[in-house]
Amino acid sequence: MELDSERRYAKRYDIRLPMRYRVSLKDSVPISGSGSTCDLSTTGVGFRCRRPLPVGAHIELLVEWPARHGDADPLELQITGFVTRNEAGRVGVRSTSRKFRVDTGVQSLLATA
């Protein structure tokens, strides 16, 4: 009997999209940066970034979605969750919430002051 080595419950889709992130750590300054998605599923996301991110930390992601709202405003996929792995520049995130939002350019979850 052959066992499938893939243990994930949700199918992953190879999608390369630009994204921004912010990692929150208790008693520490948030870490923010940008990267590119490698794959997405209903339960998580894999992405590449330049710095290692702490496993277990809370993370917020804004993924630039290729579709537009009303042919004008860009859409973003907002994902929150926890960093589950960090290996060789690739980060794994277990998502706890996700929703699409219109990027008006005025408000930004990851804006820096």
**How far does the chain reach from its first CA to its final CA, in angstroms?**
57
* pLDDT at residue 101, as a whole number: 87
pLDDT digits (tens, 9 = 90+) for 21-66: 999 888 888 999 999 999 999 999 999 999 999 999 999 999 998 8
Question: Please, are residues 54 and 23 in contact by the beta-carbon 8 Å criterion?
Answer: yes
* pLDDT at residue 46, as a whole number: 97
Type of residue numbered 62: L
CA gap 71, 16 in Å, rounded: 22
Q: Which of 109, 60, 62, 111 is nearest to 83 (CA)?
A: 60
Domain boundaries, the chain: 13-102
pLDDT digits (tens, 9 = 90+) for 61-94: 999 988 776 667 788 999 999 999 999 899 999 9
CA gap 62, 92 in Å, rounded: 15
* pLDDT at residue 10, as a whole number: 77
Helix and strand tally (H, E) in the chain? 0, 7
Which residue has better confidence, 50 or 6? 50
Q: Which of 113, 6, 11, 13 is nearest to 63 (CA)?
A: 13
What CATH class does 13-102 carry? mainly beta
Tokens of 36: 């590119």
Query: Is the pTM of the predicted complex or chain greater than 0.85?
Result: no
